[in-house]
Chains A and B, each alone.
Chain A
Amino acid sequence: MAFVFVLFPLVFAGVAFLIPSNRLRPWTLPAAGALHLALSVYTVFFRADLLRTNGWLMLDAPGKLVLLVVSTLFFFCSLYSVGYLRLRENRGNRVFTCCLLLFLGMAGLVVWSHHLGLMWVAIEATTLSTAPLIYFNQNKKSLEATWKYLVIGSVGIAIALLGTYFLAYSTVPSGMKPTLQMDELLACAPGLSKGWFRAAFILLLVGYGTKMGLAPMHTWKPDAYGEAPGVIGAIFAGGVTSCAFLAFLRIYQLSAAAGEGDFTTKILLFMGLFSMIVAGLFILGQKDFKRLLAYSSVEHMGILIVGLGIGGPALYGTMLHVATNSMTKGVLFLSAGNIHRAYDSKNTDQVHGAISRLPFSGILFLAGFLAITGSPPFGPFVSEFSILTGAVSGGKFVTAGLFLLFLLVVFIGMGQTVLSVVQGRAPAGEIPGGYRDRFSTVFPVLVLMGVTLLLGLVIPAPLQNILKEAVVCLGGKA
């Protein structure tokens, strides 16, 4: 089954490459997205027997979660991108389409691979396949962003590779056969050499953290998100980061199995809270609302890491937050993309009164903001609140306090920017050929918002089970 998930997007990519017409080609995206979503749901919920292809390729609970998240987000983004590319017909979209499909395949490989070496390869592949997407606009700035993303990303990934090797090597001192296969590692986790294992943990945290965009390795993020089209931002903030987080979850899983809880907790809490406050400081008085979203993504990666650091009672919330964050980020980036197109600027000095000019996108942007900052009854509220509950019931009062404080800082910063975007009187001068809300670019966002709200109101039982399984995988109690 794993091969299907990896290969059929590649086939679609090939097809897309061959299609000559700029108008027809984008339709390969929703086709692949729909098929992928269908396959994911089918495999995850109905075919438990397909979950294990071989020792290297299998789908465990965290994998299932991320697979569903990525596939859902990709589906809506693909719908959106049809409408989006319709607006950008002057620009060729062959690379765009192919790279998106390649990413889909590689993401599939990431979630399926149960072998850390293989997973590393897949992650690096996602990096490479997404790089050209940032360069879609083909101007100097996007070029610069792509360059930084590529180099910093590759460096980070290289560090992750070193970490992977460390991990493999940590078996040697106690005379075991070096391996990178998850099950074997989990089996011999308690016997791993502490020094090497901890070093590996840190290297992988920094390496995959670069890909997730934890401070201080986040530096590529605002540039990439700011210059890439909104839909790519959504794919990044919802999809790529989730894959990287999954990759990091593996080592966390191992550390839990190895009983390294005390050591990891300190480091994770530090890194997570650090990312949150750094993001907050950059968000305060941020005039560029796409960079703002990038920093918000940094913040939420921090929240995820904090959740892992708290461990035990907070794991459920963390797992849930992977989903809620991705969906909400999708809403935010897509609506922000619309606003950007309508005003031909992403600076709050020019952008006012979005609600009056783009009723749907404006309101969706505002709603997404409220959701991401944890207002009930949206999804992120549930996840963030249960992370907080975990912190308190885990007795980590200082963490909880800082967590709330940083959430507040972020809220203040985001609030100022978002409100000045959506409120007020829209500038008089209409941009020639300025974008107006249309079905194809609003409907997917609307549905995503619906999903976000749904996750806040009712979490379907199957998803609930997956979350619980994932918590168990990570060494928590269901």
Chain B
Amino acid sequence: MPIQLVLFGAVLLALSGLPALFSRRRSSWGQVVSTVIVLAGSSTGIVGIALHFFSRYLSAPLFFPWPAVGNSVVGLDSLSAFFLFPVFVMSGAGSLYGTAYWPQKEKGGSARRLQMFWGLMAAGMVVLLLGKHAMAFLLGWEVMALSGFFLITADDTREETRKAGLIYFIATHISTLILFALFTVWRLATGSFSFLPVSPGSISLGLINALFLLAFIGFGIKAGLMPLHFWLPGAHANAPSHVSAMLSGVMLKMGVFGFLRVLTLMPVMPAMWGWMTLAFGAVSGLLGVIFAIGQHDLKRLLAYHSVENIGIIYMGIGLAMLGRAFGHPEWTALGLAGALLHVWNHGFFKSLLFFGAGSVQHASGTRQIDRLGGLGRAMPWTAAFFLIGSIAICGLPPLNGFISELLIYAGFFHSLTAGTSGGTAAAFTAPVLAMIGALATACFVKVCGTVFLGLPRGESAARAHESPARMLLPMGFLVLLCLVIGVAPYSVVPILEQTVAAWAFPSGLPSPAGFLPLRTFGWISLAVAVVSVFITGLAVFLGRKSPRRGTWDCGYAKPEASMQYTASSFGSSILYLFHHLVPSRLQKSDLSQVFPAPAAMRSHIDDPVLDQWIRGFFRRLRSLSTWFRRFQQGMMQYYILYIVVALFVLLCTLIPFRELLESLFHHS
């Protein structure tokens, strides 16, 4: 029953684009109808998921024929249901947001395309998540990836967008090809394309390691794990904002899902894999946030935070894997629960933040943080929502980010107190997580402070206005989700329990809630929130009549908006801390003469992976191919020579050289 609902929702989503597609170019009704259909589809799907979790309907897997590749199977289990929820939530919220952010009336054809691929992408992800067979999985994967490409390049008149799109296109195809390899090896190992557990001892260790590596890389690219994230910042920055929200909030998680899915089917779990996952997670968590501090493009910054959060998720997964490797169910339960919950949380608050960034761009027309400022007055709702999202993403109480990180921390503490050397080594990453938290706080204080607080730094910021309700409503909904998970974490515990159980641990897993008094955390968070809000409200009320003066600037006569601390200056001191690890560009003009020219300071980090490794590689490849072109230079005489040479070389393989030599020596 649940699976039928989910599939029906998927069908609605897949077809949702048609009204917009067949409506007139600049008419709005098509988009409205499409959005309604999307909302209907999402709600149907959500109902299905709810039924799965909270009723005892067991949905049997459905076989659907795909004669070309042999029949395929889809089935709904807790893992897929868990990942399905953000898909449905975000596809609904995003398309509502889109009606105001990317209206067909103004955008015309691109809006029609966007509407159609929006639905397709969501449907593709549903198929991917339900797929119990390589082919269904690949189908969903590719539909998602390609629609993602068309969504990113919705506005393909901009050169920058096309570039970013191309890089995304290549990256996603690389992952697809790696998945091809993965599934062919999978078939070699298990004898079928369907997702059945690999029976222990059925395959050699080398093969199973190959499986793991292929999965780690193939899905890591999609998840945007450092250093496989190179496609991510550009794509997220240049896509329409609700698309960025969908990509970052939901699509990246498909990589995580695939990784988890493959892991659950593995017969063994060498500790090495766990270490690898944990290490990569920690690295991309730390580097992701440091890179983020070095950005000035609001959406690019958020994109790097996706890298960071994916890192946190992988840390949790790594801990879970270690738990299984060393036979500690509690590590697995906590690490996995934390990672999974963070999948949800990141889905919610990151989408919220991208929506916020979108409405900032919508209002001020720029993504450059250093040109904004003081938007809080013009757009109070957006500011408030963005602030809440920021607190959540920093993992601070009383919001949901804290809960998931808390679970992961708990896992680390358990691994520490277990007394095994492996566990202690794992616990080393806990302080890294703490550092990530501190850095994230710094980064989002910078963002909120520079964008929404203080005074407008430019004309564009001064002209800003609040976004329409259709954009605020989805943000409000996401805020609600963040709050609920934050102050009532126990409400998601049953879901988490069922999902964690999907992990094939020899003997079932304990409930993650058994290790932490989540209720207490919830109550304290709630108390802190309520008290702060109440007193603040009171203070604002009482202080409304208090006299207003210009900011006291240490006696400086005439403070100006341009004198405010910019994001660059705010970040520079932290970047200086890490300048050995991550070389950052610091552009400042020195004040030499008596009447110095207007000076400006910018601190920026270029992405070494993309700008140095990848581009360098392609430059080399290109130069190779340009060198190679000389062989096709037009003279037919040479062409015939090639044929002769090929013939000669191939025939030489026939000459029995050894016999010849022997015969020679024999004669002499």
Given contacts A151-B636, A377-B142, A419-B169, list 16 more A-B pairs with CB under 8 A: A195-B654, A216-B643, A219-B636, A219-B639, A282-B625, A282-B629, A284-B621, A285-B622, A285-B625, A373-B173, A375-B142, A376-B139, A382-B69, A423-B153, A459-B68, A464-B67
Contact partner of B135 among A203, A376, A388, CB < 8 A? Answer: A376
Chain A, residues 400-427, CB within 8 Å of chain B (1/0): the string is 1100100111011101100110011100
A205 to B, closest residue via Cβ: B650
Which residues of chain B have C-beta atoms less than 8 A from A219's C-beta? 632, 636, 639, 642
Does residue B138 face the partner (Cβ distance < 8 Å to A)? yes
B626 to A, closest residue via Cβ: A285
Q: Which of B177-185, B461-469, B513-521 is the interface stretch? A: B177-185
Alpha-carbon separation in the docked complex, A413 to B166 (Å) = 11
Judging by beta carbons under 8 Å apart, are A392 and B632 in contact?
A: no
Judging by beta carbons under 8 Å apart, are A206 and B647 in contact?
A: yes
Judging by beta carbons under 8 Å apart, are A282 and B653 in contact?
A: no
Given A148-B636, A425-B157: A376 in contact with B142 (beta carbons within 8 A): yes
Judging by beta carbons under 8 Å apart, are B650 and A155 in contact?
A: no
Alpha-carbon separation in the docked complex, A219 to B637 (Å) = 11
Judging by beta carbons under 8 Å apart, are B187 and A392 in contact?
A: yes
Identify 30 residue pairs between A and B in the complex whose beta-carbon atoms are under 8 Å apart, listed by A's number: A147-B636, A151-B640, A159-B647, A202-B654, A205-B650, A206-B647, A210-B643, A216-B642, A219-B632, A220-B639, A266-B653, A281-B624, A373-B173, A375-B146, A376-B135, A376-B139, A377-B142, A385-B180, A392-B181, A392-B187, A401-B181, A408-B174, A411-B170, A415-B166, A416-B166, A419-B162, A425-B157, A457-B66, A458-B66, A464-B67
A404 to chain B, nearest CB (A): 5
B656 to A, closest residue via Cβ: A195
Which A residues between 246 and 296 are near B, CB-CB below 8 angstroms?
Answer: 266-267, 278, 281-282, 284-285
Alpha-carbon separation in the docked complex, A274 to B137 (Å) = 32
Alpha-carbon separation in the docked complex, A205 to B437 (Å) = 64
Alpha-carbon separation in the docked complex, A370 to B643 (Å) = 32
A332 to chain B, nearest CB (A): 17
Which residues of chain B have C-beta atoms less than 8 A from A404's C-beta? 177-178, 180-181
Judging by beta carbons under 8 Å apart, are A198 and B654 in contact?
A: yes
Contact partner of B646 among A216, A411, A464, CB < 8 A? Answer: A216
Contact partner of A206 among B169, B631, B650, B653, CB < 8 A? Answer: B650
Give the number of chain B interface residues (Cβ < 8 Å). 52
Which residues of chain B have C-beta atoms less than 8 A from A373's C-beta? 173
Which B residues between 59 and 114 are near A, CB-CB below 8 angstroms?
Answer: 65-69, 109
Which residues of chain A have C-beta atoms less than 8 A from B138's C-beta? 376
Judging by beta carbons under 8 Å apart, are A217 and B632 in contact?
A: no
A217 to chain B, nearest CB (A): 5
What 9 A-B pairs come out closest when comparing CB atoms?
A219-B639, A392-B184, A284-B625, A216-B642, A423-B156, A458-B67, A281-B625, A202-B650, A281-B628
Judging by beta carbons under 8 Å apart, are B187 and A389 in contact?
A: yes
Does residue B255 face the partner (Cβ distance < 8 Å to A)? no
B327 to chain A, nearest CB (A): 33
Alpha-carbon separation in the docked complex, A408 to B179 (Å) = 13
A370 to B, closest residue via Cβ: B146
Describe B's contact surface by its main secondary structure: helix
A456 to B, closest residue via Cβ: B68
Alpha-carbon separation in the docked complex, A419 to B177 (Å) = 20
B113 to chain A, nearest CB (A): 9
Which B residues between 617 and 665 are near A, CB-CB below 8 angstroms?
Answer: 618, 621-622, 624-626, 628-629, 631-632, 636, 639-640, 642-643, 645-647, 650-651, 653-654
Chain B, residues 149-166, CB within 8 Å of chain A (1/0): the string is 000010011000010011
Alpha-carbon separation in the docked complex, A391 to B656 (Å) = 30
Chain A, residues 151-183, CB within 8 Å of chain B (1/0): the string is 110011001000000000000000000000000
Does residue B188 face the partner (Cβ distance < 8 Å to A)? yes
Judging by beta carbons under 8 Å apart, are B153 and A458 in contact?
A: no
Which A residues between 417 and 443 are near B, CB-CB below 8 angstroms?
Answer: 419-420, 423-425
Does residue A393 face the partner (Cβ distance < 8 Å to B)? yes
Chain B, residues 310-341, CB within 8 Å of chain A (1/0): the string is 00000000000000000000000000000000
Name A residues whose Cβ lies closer than 8 Å to a Cβ of B: 147-148, 151-152, 155-156, 159, 195, 198-199, 202-203, 205-206, 210, 216-217, 219-220, 222, 266-267, 278, 281-282, 284-285, 356, 370, 373, 375-377, 379, 382, 385-386, 388-389, 391-393, 400-401, 404, 407-409, 411-413, 415-416, 419-420, 423-425, 455-459, 464
Alpha-carbon separation in the docked complex, A455 to B69 (Å) = 10
Which residues of chain B have C-beta atoms less than 8 A from A205's C-beta? 650
Alpha-carbon separation in the docked complex, A159 to B647 (Å) = 9
B177 to A, closest residue via Cβ: A404
A294 to chain B, nearest CB (A): 11
B178 to A, closest residue via Cβ: A404
Which residues of chain A have C-beta atoms less than 8 A from B650's C-beta? 202, 205-206, 267
Judging by beta carbons under 8 Å apart, are B645 and A216 in contact?
A: yes
B110 to chain A, nearest CB (A): 10
Judging by beta carbons under 8 Å apart, are B169 and A400 in contact?
A: no
A75 to chain B, nearest CB (A): 22
Alpha-carbon separation in the docked complex, A91 to B176 (Å) = 47
A222 to chain B, nearest CB (A): 7
A266 to chain B, nearest CB (A): 8
Alpha-carbon separation in the docked complex, A163 to B600 (Å) = 76
Which residues of chain A have C-beta atoms less than 8 A from B135's C-beta? 376
Judging by beta carbons under 8 Å apart, are A419 and B69 in contact?
A: no
B626 to chain A, nearest CB (A): 7
Judging by beta carbons under 8 Å apart, are B654 and A199 in contact?
A: yes
Alpha-carbon separation in the docked complex, A349 to B339 (Å) = 48
Contact partner of B166 among A148, A152, A419, A425, CB < 8 A? Answer: A419
Alpha-carbon separation in the docked complex, A33 to B445 (Å) = 71
